[in-house]
Structure 1
């Protein structure tokens, strides 16, 4: 069976050996849900190898919970959210959401690949100090000195640069509207600055 963006959610559950119900049973633990449902896109233990799908390992549990609820409530409207996550999140009850968040947050972090040295240096400067003349605050203020995340502010360290750049784009075009602060930041960064930050963070 070939699964793609247009694959019905029911087919994904059938392919994983689960029967789709209005909500996953509360007895389902995060590890099992992650392996049978999430790993196809996000990789085993949340260690995604595809830049289309974010790494979830070592992500903050608060952020994962908030995003799953955002998908369920359609607060995230970018194409990938609609194609992959709206239907999936609708099948997760509160217990399943918390269990998944706890599971992924406990997985060890992985570092991404290094990129162009000049872009990396520029990205580090923006991450640590912002862009003062444009009123852009340091990314580290919310996301942590090492990009490790804090509460509902996500871990960015080691994330795929392509995924990070795409998220800046959807914040900018308004299709991801569940983080007003990021929407404002995205509108003030040009493409080169956004790519630089993404390249730096992937190398962390």
Structure 2
């Protein structure tokens, strides 16, 4: 948290001296990449935007604007960031980031990846949890407004699942119920596996 705050403080100071925008860069894009990385691959708890489903990004920006996505970092950073975005800017940002190439984070626990893959592909019958691929696709690529999970960072995925279980963003379809049913070990395994999806080690 301190590192994120420090980065934002530094960016606020240097933004004036950031130089002219490149031919394919808009000010909203630059604002996003300050936290999400210059190639939108993510930074710490700021998730990767590159290659994410455009409908999902658009829905999340609207969710931030309308204060529906209400976990602590959303309140602290994204509510303000999305507050004054026009519908056209929301659409353009979503389309832009969805076209960028993806790189898997590869930052989970490899020893847990096999267990996480089993949960993703088969679900947990005794907990009445269906396989994740039913909604997110066989390669965790997402479908329409359902997000791509493959290759997102372990820390981001773990915290999102934990926060759903804690009651944040309660309007997010079936996820709050599913996440509240997962044990800490199951969350660790699932987040670890997904962080490697897209790399040769799990293909």
- Whether TM-score is above 0.5 comes out as yes
1:38-97 CA-partner distances (Å, limit 9, x unpaired): 11110113111x221100000000000000000000001110000110011011010000
Give structure 1 stretches of 5+ with no counterpart.
18-28
Contact 1:58–1:108 (8 Å) recurs in 2: yes
Moved over 6 A (4+): none
Match of 1:202 in 2: 195
Matches for 1:48-197 after TM superposition, within 5 Å: 48=42, 50-113=43-106, 115-197=108-190
Matched, 1:40 2:41: no
CA-based RMSD? 2.4
> TM-score normalised to the size of structure 1?
0.84
Cα 1:114/1:81, change in 2 over 3 Å: closer
Q: State the alpha-carbon separation in 1 of the partners of residues 56 and 109 from structure 2.
A: 29
Contact 1:172–1:187 (8 Å) recurs in 2: yes
Matched, 1:4 2:21: no
The count of corresponding residues between Structure 1 and Structure 2 is 188
SS at match of 2:26: helix
> TM-score normalised to the size of structure 2?
0.85
